[in-house]
Amino acid sequence: MIGLKKPDILILGAGYGGIMTAVNLEKKLGVDDANITLVNKHDYHYQTTWLHENAAGTLHHDKTRIQIKDIISPNKVKFVQDTVKEIKTDDKRVVLENGELTYDYLVVGLGFESETFGIKGLKEHAFSIRSINAAREIREHLDYKFSQYNNTQREDLLTIVVGGAGFTGIEFVGELANRVPELCKEFDIDRSKVRIVNVEAAPTALPGFDPALVEYAMEHLERKGVEFRIGTAIKECTPEGIVVEKDGHVEEIKAATVVWAAGVRGNSILDASGFETMRGRIKVEKDLRAPGFNDVFIVGDCALIINDEINRPYPPTAQIAIQEAEVCAKNLASLVKGNNELEGFTPDIKGTVCSLGEDDAIGVVGDKKIFGKTASVMKKVIDNRYLYKLGGPSMVLKKGKLKMF
């Protein structure tokens, strides 16, 4: 306990890392132990892992977002809707758009931003799947471009380019492949006129993933009309489309919709606040604190954790963010109760499942490969399990993916 005053715990961001830290803290601390405050830009938490469905228009965003008041108890956690601008660690202050908050302990869970690697024109002309508002804009844009086609006959209106065939790119083209036939029906368009082009710079889609499962994914998506451009790098984005390069050969692809899904970085607020980062992510200590700070914890995509077995960072995932939140809450509760011996964090990777649309997926769970309906059901089980952790059975019933078969 710091002095006689109840310590102030301030959590920034209500993504997987932030909201689960709050949910876990509610269980570990009583109202007399600490003042807990959660700050988030919006009054809702959203499931980032479903945003590609909202962007494609296969799932409404109201299913993806959950009011924060329906998750946390106002008696235990005070919620402040505001935008974080800067963290001033010297005097334990956080500057918000509409005010300021101080802390004794800080948890940073401000999530990811799209990484454009300085590629010309991407920031100006490409969309990215990073929030409810960004996903909603992509969905509306697609509708609008399809609606324009019959009045103009411009083929680029029906060309959708997705940059990157990592997990986000593949999951998004999987949804698009299901959505496009619906759009065609709605706007009187022949399906054969629509192109979904997935451009990947590496020599394979889903680099590093099981090759047999990658082959399954590509085959199934190609059958639904997705064109892959593998070993092809996006070099520039213009108002007319993209410029790509493969083996020294440069080509322009005209497209009215370009969605950049080729990389993420941590929130730039960390750089702006003077933390040492690698692409916006802080390489945290074992106990999840920022190096040199005994009062600042980092969770989720802002934290960089090294996989000692291969000496490379773990890919940032919701799975890891949720696990970090448990350890972070445990460590905060220890500090508040005067115990300075903190727990170390090691990710426990249960597996990876990549969806290929509503009823198809691929995955590795333990050492087992799964695909098709089995993998798709597994993905829904994982999603529902998270909702259960967040708000018990009623949350699963309200927001869960209950149509399994």
Give catalytic residues, as residue numbers.
171
Cα–Cα distance list, 30 to 83, 115, 323, 333, 350 (Å): 27, 40, 22, 10, 32
Among the listed residues 2, 95, 202, 378, the single contact to ligand NAD using CB under 6 A: 202
Q: How far is CA 93 from CA 89, 266, 301, 324, 369, in A?
A: 6, 20, 22, 23, 48
Q: Can you give the C-alpha Rg of the chain in angstroms?
A: 22
Q: Is 238 in the site for ligand NAD (CB under 6 A)?
A: no
CB 283 within 8 A of CB 96: no
7, 15, 164, 241: residue in contact with ligand FAD (rule CB under 6 A)? 15
Position among 29, 110, 201, 237 found at the interface with ligand NAD (CB under 6 A): 201
Binding characters for ligand FAD, 313-332, by CB under 6 A (x = yes): ---xxxx-x-----------
CA 185 to CA 177: how far, in whole Å? 14
Shortest distance (Å) from residue 356 CB to ligand NAD: 10
Which region among 33-41, 168-176, 186-194, 266-274 touches ligand NAD (by CB under 6 A)? 168-176
Size of the site for ligand FAD (CB under 6 A): 32
Residues 104-123 that bind ligand NAD (CB under 6 A): 119
Q: Is 129 in the site for ligand FAD (CB under 6 A)?
A: yes
Q: Segment contacting ligand NAD (CB under 6 A): 5-13, 73-81, 313-321, 334-342?
A: 313-321
Between 175 and 200, whose beta carbon lies closer to ligand NAD? 200
Q: How far is CA 155 from CA 8, 148, 188, 254, in A?
A: 57, 11, 14, 9
Decide the pairing of beta strands 241-246 and 249-254: antiparallel
Segment lying near ligand FAD (by CB under 6 A), choices 60-68, 207-215, 284-292, 310-318: 310-318
Separation between Cα atoms, residue 25 and residue 72, nearest integer Å: 10
Q: What residues from 265 to 294 belong to the interface with ligand NAD (CB under 6 A)?
A: none
Nearby residues of 134 by Cβ (< 8 Å), 6 or more positions away: 51, 55, 127, 128
| Segment interacting with ligand NAD, rule: CB under 6 A, options 163-171, 270-278, 282-290, 366-374 | 163-171
Please tell me whether residue 21 binds ligand FAD under the rule CB under 6 A.
no
Among 111, 169, 174, 280, binds ligand NAD (CB under 6 A): 169
Q: Which residues contact residue 311 at a Cβ distance below 8 angstroms, ignoring those fewer than 6 apart? A: none
Beta bridge partners of residue 290, listed in sequence order? none
The yes or no reply on residue 169 touching ligand FAD (CB under 6 A) is no
Angle of helix 318-336 relative to helix 372-399, nearest 10 degrees, comes to: 50
CB 197 within 8 A of CB 158: no
Longest dimension (CA), the chain: 72
Single residue of 49, 54, 257, 331 touching ligand FAD by CB under 6 A: 49
Question: Which residues of the shown chain bind ligand FAD in the complex (CB under 6 A)?
Answer: 13-18, 39-42, 48-49, 51-52, 83-84, 109-112, 129, 168, 171, 267, 269, 300-301, 316-319, 321
Question: Which residues of the shown chain bind ligand NAD in the complex (CB under 6 A)?
Answer: 119, 163-169, 171, 199-202, 207, 233-234, 261-264, 315-317, 352-354
